[in-house]
């Protein structure tokens, strides 16, 4: 199979289909998104990544909404276009309003700015924080 093409369910191996089935069931969607169809070129990575994502993104001390917003914050910082789009959609599905997205991006922008100010001025860590 050409690695530049997504692997669709119809052409997938049983191992890949089992992961796709679990994604569809867990997320209650009719089809998996492109990320998983490309990961399917490496079934070991597909399975390990899905197992980890499923465990990490499920409700815990943090809500799925907060977790998706953290995902967007990291993805915008790294400039990953695919991840901004897919986790932005997931965050909205989990309840992120446009006002929340606006504030999320404002924090991300400011954090990226002050990270560099702290670097450039070589600010030493306060004793109070170093615990």
Contacts of a second copy in 30-59 (CB under 8 A): 33-35, 38-39, 41-42, 44-45, 48-49, 52-53, 55-57
Rule CB under 8 A: is residue 95 a binding residue for a second copy? Answer: no
The closest of 107, 101, 113 to 69, measured between CA atoms, is: 101
Q: How far apart are CA 75 and CA 125, in angstroms?
A: 27
- Local structure of 126: helix, strand or coil: coil
Binding mask 54-93 for a second copy (x = CB under 8 A): -xxx--xxx---xx-xxxxxxxxxxxxxxxxxxxxx----
**Nearest-approach distance from CB 61 to a second copy, in angstroms:** 4
Question: Is the CB of 18 or the CB of 59 nearer to a second copy?
Answer: 59
Show the CA angle centred on residue 83, arms to residues 78 and 89, nearest 5°. 135
In the complex, least distance from residue 48 CB atom to a second copy, rounded to whole angstroms: 6
Q: Does 4 bind a second copy (CB under 8 A)?
A: yes
Cβ pair 107, 73 in contact under 8 A: yes
């Amino acid at each position: 199979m050409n690695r530049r093409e997504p692997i669709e369910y119809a052409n997938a191996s049983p191992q890949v289909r089992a992961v796709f089935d679990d994604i569809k069931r867990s997320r209650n969607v009719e089809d998996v998104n492109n990320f998983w169809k490309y990961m399917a070129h490496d079934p070991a990575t597909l399975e390990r990544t899905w197992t980890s994502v499923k465990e990490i993104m499920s409700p815990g001390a943090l809500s799925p909404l907060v977790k998706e917003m953290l995902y967007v914050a990291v993805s915008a910082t790294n400039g990953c276009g695919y991840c901004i789009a897919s986790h932005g959609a997931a965050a909205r599905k989990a309840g992120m309003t446009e006002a929340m997205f606006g504030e999320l991006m404002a924090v991300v922008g400011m954090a990226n700015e002050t990270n560099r100010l702290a670097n450039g001025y070589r600010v030493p860590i306060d004793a109070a924080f170093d615990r």
